[in-house]
Amino acid sequence: MKEYSSFKEIDRDLKILKLQTKIDQEEIKLNIERTKSALSPLSLMGSMAGSILQKAFILKAVTKLTGLKKVTASVKK
């Protein structure tokens, strides 16, 4: 535990602690807003669409690199 030699030192440290508390509160507010934004329906759909497009692109690239052709099942009647 820190020992203080004057009230001036105590006041200075209290001021620093109050400012740190305010900074922490603002960071929490920002994180909440970012989380709300990331979990919005529009954002979720956009990330899902991006993921699907990315997987389709990778599949197409792998198919071209390996020379595999798409196999389609034909059903005879």
Domain residue extents for the chain: 7-62
> What 3-state class would DSSP assign to 14?
helix
Residue type (1 letter), 12? R
Residues 18-28 have pLDDT tens digits of 999 999 999 99
Write out the two tokens for 17: 């602690």
Report the predicted TM-score, pTM, of the whole model to 2 decimal places: 0.53
As a whole number of angstroms, the distance between CA 20 and CA 13 comes to 10
Residues 8-66 have pLDDT tens digits of 999 999 999 999 999 999 999 999 999 988 888 888 788 888 888 888 888 888 888 88
